[in-house]
């Protein structure tokens, strides 16, 4: 289904469609880093796995359980999250939240994100307005 939507979007805008397999690989690569930042940001307020997955999905980041739970365990082992088991609705659930170290890391990652975003905006803006310019050997 995703390929069909992409094909329609590309055809509607007169843009050549990329190789689907290559696009999926590069898209997954891009999403990995974005997902880490999104999870850290979402866990500024406590969530358990299901509600976190639902929240991410509501914001367009659909994540499989097989991706989310290993990521949560890794972030916790890195000291960026803390978790605790609690009973809720007669079921044991593991609740996650950002640790103080995770809050510092999120702030640093968001700063880096903004720098990258500004750089990319500048490159895209320059590329769309400029004609080919020679690059000197010193650059």
Helix (H) / strand (E) element for 85: namely strand 81-88
Backbone angles phi, psi at 113, to 5 degrees: -55, -45
For the stretch 55-95, pLDDT in tens is: 999 999 999 999 999 999 999 999 999 999 999 889 999 99
The 10 Å Cβ neighbour count of residue 67 is: 15
Structural domains in the chain, sorted by start? 21-125 (1.10.10.10)
Token pair in block for residue 130? 């400029």
How far is 43 from 16, CA to CA, in rounded Å?
A: 39
The structure's pTM equals 0.76
């Amino acid at each position: 289904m995703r390929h069909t939507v992409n094909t329609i979007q590309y055809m509607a805008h007169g843009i050549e469609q990329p190789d689907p397999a290559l696009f999926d690989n590069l898209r997954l690569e891009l999403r990995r880093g974005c997902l880490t930042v999104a999870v850290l940001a979402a866990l500024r307020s406590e969530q358990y796995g299901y509600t976190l997955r639902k929240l991410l999905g509501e914001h367009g980041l659909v994540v499989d359980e097989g991706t989310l739970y290993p990521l949560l365990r890794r972030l916790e082992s890195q000291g960026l999250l803390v978790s605790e088991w609690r009973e809720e609705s007669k079921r044991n659930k593991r609740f996650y939240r950002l640790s103080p170290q995770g809050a510092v890391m999120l702030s640093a990652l968001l700063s880096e994100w903004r720098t990258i975003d500004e750089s990319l905006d500048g490159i895209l803006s320059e590329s769309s307005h400029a004609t080919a310019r020679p690059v000197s050997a010193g650059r």
